[in-house]
Amino acid sequence: MEIFGYVVIGIVGALLLFMILRTVFTRPKKLETSDYVAQEINLEEVTAHLVGAIQYETITMSDNSQDGSKFLAYQEYLESIYPLTMARAEKTLINKYAVIYKVKGSDESLLPVAVLAHQDVVPADEDGWECEPFSGEIKDGYIYGRGSQDMKSQMIVALDGMETLLRSGKELKRTVLFCFGHDEELRGTEGASCISEHLLSQGVRLEYVIDEGGTILDGSIIGINKKIALIGTCEKGYADFKLEVEKDGGHSSTPRRKTSVNTLVSAINRIEKHPVRPTWVKPVKDMFKALAPYMNPAFKFVLVNRDIFSPILKPLLCLISPFTNCLMRTTSATTQLKGASTPNTLPGVASANVNCRINIDETVESTLAHLQKLAGKNVKISIEEGYINPSPVSDIDSNAYAMLEKTIKEVYSEFLVAPYPFIAASDAKYYYKLTNNVYRFTPFEKTVEDANRIHGLNERIEIAQLVAGTRFFVRLFENTCC
């Protein structure tokens, strides 16, 4: 028995030593030297450009048969404020209102890059706004208006970056395609999807794609005393599931023991209490691998030895914050409920919509099976139209990713950079047929409060952020296209 005890102690000691050494030898990358000099940006000009852009009410149309002249007018505005870029650009309208501006480079042997943005914005009711939502009003150092964050600001700084580059006399060697859809808020099927199909039909291959999505956040929640710039290398899938229960209706004065509403609510409760299990998908593992060297000792020890601590760590990350929970698993949220049309009626049919954001390595079908198992045989579940499986995961060992990381570190010198799975949806998902290098990054710092204004009241962007955003695109074009 004593020998067995010594063996156990020896194994535990060896494992602990291995874990300590593994942590000690996980070190930050060596800093690379750079010749970067920050470009002078005309803040007054880029501010005026965004203010003007917000004033075009390019609200997403419910279908492409509607009058989309507002998008054509918005394009005319862009063409008027970027004379150098547009003088070199070849314009192609796609499906009436989406557009490609092709700014040709001098070296046709280089694959072009695609800079994505969407022209459309969600509706904005004036009630509750501090400023008229399509005024672009400037107040206390912010530009207010629908689209100020999502995402006319990124479109404007990208175009200002190109205009600034050309104004400086730099030669563009690689062709840049500015691809602007017009229905991203309705999943991009009439805009971005059609653009990518057009490019595919022309035999186009891309060096990389950059779209909205990655974010800048405070690293303190994972033991890092710096800000972190996250590059989205993939995005979760999207699906709405309709849950429906049919039972005899009647008058509410004589309720049955199990009504359609009772059965439906019970099913929803089971779904909420038993979420999909968390998993270590590749982009999450890549994220923690990139960030672990910069964590405080305790966080670093746990994350470097993630495989050993996994049974505890996975559920813990799901509890730390909504953000880390979304990274670790497929999420579901009940967003709509429908019962009787009058308050004293037992509905014959009760229904609900459950919106799911599907994790990498899972599918719409596997999510349906999970929901159906929990809901039970008395609940009919169907998949609503417009669903999409998770995207592929982009290459983080490519030169394109290295140049994007380099650009971020140059412009935001104190930031750490890491890949991650984008937890929402973007137009970028349609471009994997054209390249393996599809990335999502939004070059603006924002508070949690301001991030929560997206699609909500008083959407705004801090004017000072437009300088860094424009510098980011200038430097990205210098690093990858000149």
Do 415 and 472 meet the contact criterion of CB atoms below 8 Å apart?
no
Per annotation, catalytic residue among 184, 405, 427, 459:
184
- What is d(CA 27, CA 23) in angstroms, rounded to the nearest whole number? 8
Task: Out of 120, 185, 211, 410, pick the active-site residue.
Answer: 120
Question: Burial of 323 by CB count in 10 Å (0-12 exposed, 13-18 middle, 19+ buried)?
Answer: middle
* Cβ neighbours for 111, distance < 8 A, ≥ 6 positions apart: 174, 205, 206, 207, 435
Q: Which of these, 206, 217, 243, lies nearest to 336 by C-alpha position?
A: 243
Burial of 275 (0-12, 13-18, 19+ CB in 10 A): middle
385 is catalytic: no
Task: Check: CB of residue 227 under 8 Å from CB of residue 416.
Answer: yes
Q: Tell me if residue 397 is catalytic.
A: no
CA nearest to 433, candidates 196, 145, 221: 196
H or E element that contains 287: helix 282-291
User: Partners of 446 in the beta sheet?
Assistant: none
The whole-angstrom separation of Cα 186 and Cα 203 is: 27
133, burial (CB in 10 Å: exposed 0-12, middle 13-18, buried 19+): buried
The residues that are catalytic are 120, 184
